[in-house]
């Protein structure tokens, strides 16, 4: 949480909006820390399942609770709750840091940037959406961890899914393909929720983007749940 | 020889060379005289404020210059470029053609083979034709030349660039390999902790530092060989694919190509050692894998694919993190006289290739040292 707000504050402090105006999105800038905190959320969600596999404790759990999907559902509720709680604190800290720091860097009313306020519809959407984003990352991670069981492989798959697709997209020259990659990649689509300016140039509208991430999370949970039922523990 | 708007008198040669002359603005009230002489293969540029007192700007030797060459007056200006929007799917930049006009008088040519009348030519113009106004006009002794574009080496990301790509583009798949390598290398250590096998290992080989060093050597060597095969194949296949799609790959020397391929394998090997050390330090595979990926992949992603940070901040973010190891993939030089976005996405890094690789090695050495200390002090 602290790292999220701190990274956001560093991004705030490093960003300058010159007097000629700029095209930067202040809400997105102060929420930069989400790039980092999603990795932390992913670890917690993965460990919720795979630490039990690692220690063999999962057999005890499944003996005590033979309905395995219920175990997964209970885990899902726990990690979602944790991600929502931690995400709320982190996002509020980031927005507060942005509110304090950004006006000193040219993001002033004179340049068309009122101070960041959660009373402002798009800013509220960005902040609340970022919290939901972290919760969906937790569910995606839980589903992947349930499917592959090993924590290192699970975290590799999740971070690969999140970080690799945008890197690969940078060399995709054809604008149509580039846009499609932005629409299906879980991170780029999900983080569309943070946009408060330039919505028209986005490959997806903010809520549709979060919906794409939700579809990824649902698919991962479904795969994880099915494998959990079909496989030996 | 040229007079620039903000960089004084310059002598540029062979597309890539750039020699600075005296600075100072030039206006109609204080004009500048320029002279270029040839003697054999050597060209010497002079400049003067009054046409009588000349100073030498530079002398360059152009090997193999033909006996008869064309000489002329030119006016040009590189296109402007600025970033207009930065979004999560990338940044887009806009700019436009900039047209420069220069008035020349006292134009003279002294040669053993006298030339004919001056003729105008749009050198290297695009297929769409020259923008309006480009050309030259002669009114008595005064020539007015209007032109656009840049006389410069092709640089990826330059507004007037020829659209060439660098060979590093073919090796972007290394990031996928990197994540796999990190997972395997971290588990190489943490799997033993999880199964409790580490106690057997350390009982059989009580010198714990040596156990860690042996593991580091094995994972590093195996990764290097696999990485070498993978990146050599990726470069060969990638170049062929790029060419078959009509892309121009900017040429580099064989030595540079070897450095890029072997360097990519070395980056993977050092990252494997770093992940192994993190695994020994943290004893949790999920934590070790995450720390390694966040340290190496995330900074690259943040400065390149999602340019949420301004240029200065992203340069420092790269310099300070192990991600800068990928600067070993930089194959093209920077040209201070060419306006371009010198970003990792275009194959340019804020540190020199070997310096960036050294930063990554430094992180790996420090992590391995800490891991040796921790594994000696801790109970297994």
- The 3-class SS string of chain B reads CEECCCCCEEEEECCCEEEECCCCCCCCCCCCEEEEEEECCEEEEEEECCCCCEEEEEEEECCCCCCCCCCCCCCCCCCEEEEEEEECCEEEEEEECCEEEEEECCCCCCCCCCCCCCCCCCCCCCCCCCCCCCEEEEECCEEEEEEECCCCCCCCCCCCCCCCECHHHHHCCHHHHHHHHHHHHHHHHHHHHHHCHHHHHHHHCCCHHHHHHHHHHHHHHHHHHHHHHHHHHHHHHHHHHHHHCCCCECCCCHHHHHHHHHHHHHHHHHHHHHHHHHHHHHCCHHHHHHHHHHHHHHHHHHHHCCCCCCHHHHHHHHHHCHHHHHHHHCCCCCCCCCCCCCCHHHCCCCCCHHHHHHHHHHHHHHHHHHHHHHHHHCCC
Nearest to B293 by CA among B174, B182, B172, B188: B182
By CA distance, what is A23's nearest residue in B? B85
Q: Tell me: do B140 and B69 sit in the same domain.
A: yes
Q: Is A195 an interface residue toward B (CB < 8 Å)? A: yes
Residue B305 to residue A166, Cβ atoms within 8 A = yes
Chain B contacts in chain A segment 25-44 (CB below 8 A): 25, 28-29, 32, 35-36, 39-40, 42-43
Written in H, E and C, the secondary structure of A83-125 is HHHHHHHHHHHHHHHHHHHHHHHCCCHHHCCCCCCCCCHHHHH
The answer, yes or no, to whether residue B144 has pLDDT greater than 50, is: yes
Residue B307 near residue B91 (C-beta atoms within 8 A): yes
User: Would you state the pLDDT for residue A61?
Assistant: 75
In a domain, B252, yes or no: yes
Residue B309 to residue A164, Cβ atoms within 8 A = no
Residue B308 to residue A32, Cβ atoms within 8 A = yes
Residue A155 to residue B290, Cβ atoms within 8 A = yes
Nearest to A174 by CA among B215, B189, B247: B247
**Segment holding A30, helix H or strand E:** helix A26-30
Least Cα separation, residue B252 to chain A (angstroms):
20
Pairing of strands B90-96, B80-87: antiparallel
Using an 8 Å CB-CB cutoff, list chain A residues near B85.
23, 198, 201
**Segment holding A127, helix H or strand E:** helix A121-148
**Segment holding A150, helix H or strand E:** none
Choose between B73 and B125: higher pLDDT: B73
Residue A23 to residue B85, Cβ atoms within 8 A = yes
User: Would you state the pLDDT for residue A44?
Assistant: 86
Least Cα separation, residue B293 to chain A (angstroms):
8
Most confident of the ranges A99-108, B45-54, B72-81, B224-233: B224-233
Q: Tell me: do B235 and B177 sit in the same domain.
A: yes
User: Would you state the pLDDT for residue A23?
Assistant: 56
Mean pLDDT confidence for A171-176: 69
Q: What is the pLDDT of residues B153-195, one digit of tens each?
A: 888 877 777 777 888 888 888 888 999 999 999 988 888 887 7
Residue B286 to residue A43, Cβ atoms within 8 A = yes
pLDDT over 70 percentage in chain A: 77
For the CA atoms of A42, A47, A50, A52, what is the dihedral angle to 10 degrees? -160
In DSSP terms, which residues pair with B147 in a beta bridge?
A: B100
> Among B87, B288, B304, whose Cβ lies nearest the Cβ of A170?
B304
User: Would you state the pLDDT for residue A16?
Assistant: 54
Nearest to A137 by CA among A199, A193, A96, A95: A193
Using an 8 Å CB-CB cutoff, list chain B residues near A39.
290, 293-294, 298
> Among A15, A47, A153, whose Cβ lies nearest the Cβ of B183?
A153
Using an 8 Å CB-CB cutoff, list chain A residues near B289.
151-152, 155-156, 159
Report the domain count for chain B: 2
Q: Tell me: do B118 and B241 sit in the same domain.
A: no
pLDDT over 90 percentage in chain B: 27
Q: What is the pLDDT of residues A94-105, one digit of tens each?
A: 887 777 777 666
> Among A23, A46, A55, whose Cβ lies nearest the Cβ of B286?
A46
Tokens of B68: 């008869």
The answer, yes or no, to whether residue B79 has pLDDT greater than 90, is: no
Mean pLDDT confidence for B67-90: 68
Q: Is B186 an interface residue toward A (CB < 8 Å)? A: yes
Domain boundaries, chain A: 2-12+24-230
Give CA–CA dist B123/B120, Å, rounded: 9
Q: What is the pLDDT of residues B300-337, one digit of tens each?
A: 888 876 655 666 777 888 888 898 899 998 888 888 88
Q: Tell me: do B319 and B174 sit in the same domain.
A: yes
Q: Which of B147, B178, B195 is the last residue of a domain?
A: B147
For the CA atoms of B129, B133, B136, B140, what is the dihedral angle to 10 degrees? 160
Q: What was the ipTM of the complex prediction?
A: 0.82
Choose between A120 and B254: higher pLDDT: B254
Using an 8 Å CB-CB cutoff, list chain B residues near A191.
88
Q: Tell me: do B245 and B327 sit in the same domain.
A: yes
The answer, yes or no, to whether residue A228 has pLDDT greater than 90, is: no
Q: What is the pLDDT of residues B49-75, one digit of tens each?
A: 888 899 999 999 998 889 888 888 888
In DSSP terms, which residues pair with B13 in a beta bridge?
A: B17
The backbone torsions φ and ψ at residue A90, rounded to the nearest 5 degrees and listed phi first, read: -60, -45
Residue B297 to residue A152, Cβ atoms within 8 A = no
Q: Tell me: do B87 and B210 sit in the same domain.
A: no
Residue A11 near residue A103 (C-beta atoms within 8 A): no
> Among A11, A150, A167, whose Cβ lies nearest the Cβ of B304?
A167
In a domain, B161, yes or no: no
Most confident of the ranges A97-106, A118-127, B335-344, B350-359: B350-359
Going by pLDDT thresholds of 50, 70 and 90, the confidence category of residue A19 is very low
Residue B36 near residue B72 (C-beta atoms within 8 A): no
Going by pLDDT thresholds of 50, 70 and 90, the confidence category of residue B262 is very high
| Start-to-end Cα distance in chain B | 71
Range of the domain at B349: 167-377
Place of tokens 């004009």: B31
Going by pLDDT thresholds of 50, 70 and 90, the confidence category of residue B219 is very high
User: Would you state the pLDDT for residue B24?
Assistant: 78
Q: Which of B115, B147, B179 is the last residue of a domain?
A: B147
Q: Tell me: do B139 and B211 sit in the same domain.
A: no
Residue B310 to residue A182, Cβ atoms within 8 A = no
Q: What is the pLDDT of residues A141-167, one digit of tens each?
A: 999 988 888 888 889 999 998 888 888
Residue B223 near residue B272 (C-beta atoms within 8 A): yes
The answer, yes or no, to whether residue B85 has pLDDT greater than 50, is: no
Q: Is A130 an interface residue toward B (CB < 8 Å)? A: no
In a domain, B160, yes or no: no
Give CA–CA dist B228/B230, Å, rounded: 5
DSSP letters spanning A175-189: HHHHHHHHHHSHHHH
Least Cα separation, residue A12 to chain B (angstroms):
9
Choose between B95 and A156: higher pLDDT: A156
Q: Residue A211: left if φ>0, alpha if ψ -120 to 50, beta else—which one?
A: alpha
User: Would you state the pLDDT for residue A109?
Assistant: 62
Mean pLDDT of chain A: 78
pTM of the model: 0.82
The answer, yes or no, to whether residue A8 has pLDDT greater than 70, is: no
Give CA–CA dist A117/A105, Å, rounded: 17
Q: Tell me: do B187 and B275 sit in the same domain.
A: yes
pLDDT over 70 percentage in chain B: 91
Tokens of A96: 């507060």
Chain A contacts in chain B segment 262-291 (CB below 8 A): 284-290
């Amino acid at each position: 949480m602290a790292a999220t707000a701190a990274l956001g504050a560093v991004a705030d402090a490093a960003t300058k909006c010159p007097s000629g105006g700029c095209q930067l999105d202040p809400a997105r800038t102060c929420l930069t820390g989400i790039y980092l905190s999603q990795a932390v959320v992913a670890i917690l969600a993965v460990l919720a399942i795979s630490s039990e596999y690692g220690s063999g404790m999962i057999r005890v759990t499944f003996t005590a609770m033979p309905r395995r999907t219920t175990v997964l559902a209970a885990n899902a509720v726990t990690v979602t709750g944790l991600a929502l709680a931690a995400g709320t604190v982190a996002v509020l800290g980031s927005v507060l840091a942005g509110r304090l720091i950004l006006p000193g860097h040219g993001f002033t009313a004179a340049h068309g940037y009122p101070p960041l306020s959660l009373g402002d519809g798009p800013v509220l959407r960005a902040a609340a959406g970022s919290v939901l984003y972290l919760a969906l990352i937790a569910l995606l991670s839980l589903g992947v961890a349930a499917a592959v069981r090993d924590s290192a492989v699970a975290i590799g798959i999740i971070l690969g899914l999140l970080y690799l697709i945008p890197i690969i997209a940078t060399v995709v020259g054809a604008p149509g393909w580039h846009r499609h990659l932005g629409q299906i990649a879980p991170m780029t689509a999900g983080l569309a929720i943070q946009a408060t300016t330039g919505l028209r140039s986005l490959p997806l509208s903010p809520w549709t983007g979060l919906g794409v991430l939700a579809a990824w999370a649902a698919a991962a949970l479904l795969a994880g749940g099915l494998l959990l039922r079909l496989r030996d523990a | 020889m040229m007079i620039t708007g903000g960089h004084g008198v310059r002598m540029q040669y062979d597309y890539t060379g750039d020699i600075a002359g005296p600075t100072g603005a030039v206006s109609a009230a204080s004009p500048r005289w320029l002279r270029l002489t040839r003697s054999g293969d050597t060209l010497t540029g002079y400049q003067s404020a009054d046409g009588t007192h000349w100073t030498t700007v530079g002398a360059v030797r152009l090997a193999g210059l033909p006996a008869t060459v064309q000489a002329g007056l030119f006016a040009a200006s590189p296109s402007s470029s600025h970033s207009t929007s930065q979004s999560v799917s990338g940044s887009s930049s806009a700019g436009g053609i900039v047209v420069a006009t220069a008035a020349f008088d006292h134009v003279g040519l002294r040669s053993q083979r006298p030339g004919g009348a001056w003729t105008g030519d749009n050198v290297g113009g695009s297929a769409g034709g020259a923008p309006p106004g480009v050309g030259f006009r002669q009114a008595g002794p005064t020539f007015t030349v209007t032109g656009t574009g840049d006389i410069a080496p092709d640089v990826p990301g330059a507004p007037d660039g020829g659209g060439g790509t660098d060979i590093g583009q073919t090796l972007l798949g290394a990031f996928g390999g990197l994540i796999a390598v990190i997972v395997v290398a971290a588990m190489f250590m943490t799997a033993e902790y999880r199964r409790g096998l580490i106690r057997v290992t350390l009982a059989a080989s009580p010198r714990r530092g040596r156990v860690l060093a042996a593991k580091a050597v094995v994972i590093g060597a195996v990764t290097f060989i696999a990485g070498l095969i993978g990146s050599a194949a990726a470069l060969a296949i990638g170049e062929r694919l790029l060419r078959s799609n009509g892309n121009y790959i900017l040429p580099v020397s064989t030595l540079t190509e070897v450095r890029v391929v072997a360097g990519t394998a070395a980056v993977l090997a050092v990252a494997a050692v770093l992940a192994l050390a993190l695994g020994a330090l943290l004893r949790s595979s999920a934590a070790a894998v995450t720390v390694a990926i966040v340290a190496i992949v995330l900074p690259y992603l943040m400065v390149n694919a999602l340019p949420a940070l301004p240029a200065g901040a992203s340069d420092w973010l790269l310099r300070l993190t192990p991600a800068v190891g990928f600067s070993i993939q930089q194959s093209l030089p920077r040209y201070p006289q060419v306006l371009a976005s010198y970003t990792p996405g275009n194959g340019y890094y804020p540190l020199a290739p070997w310096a960036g690789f050294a930063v990554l090695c430094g992180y790996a050495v420090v992590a391995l040292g800490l891991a040796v200390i921790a594994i000696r002090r801790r109970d297994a």
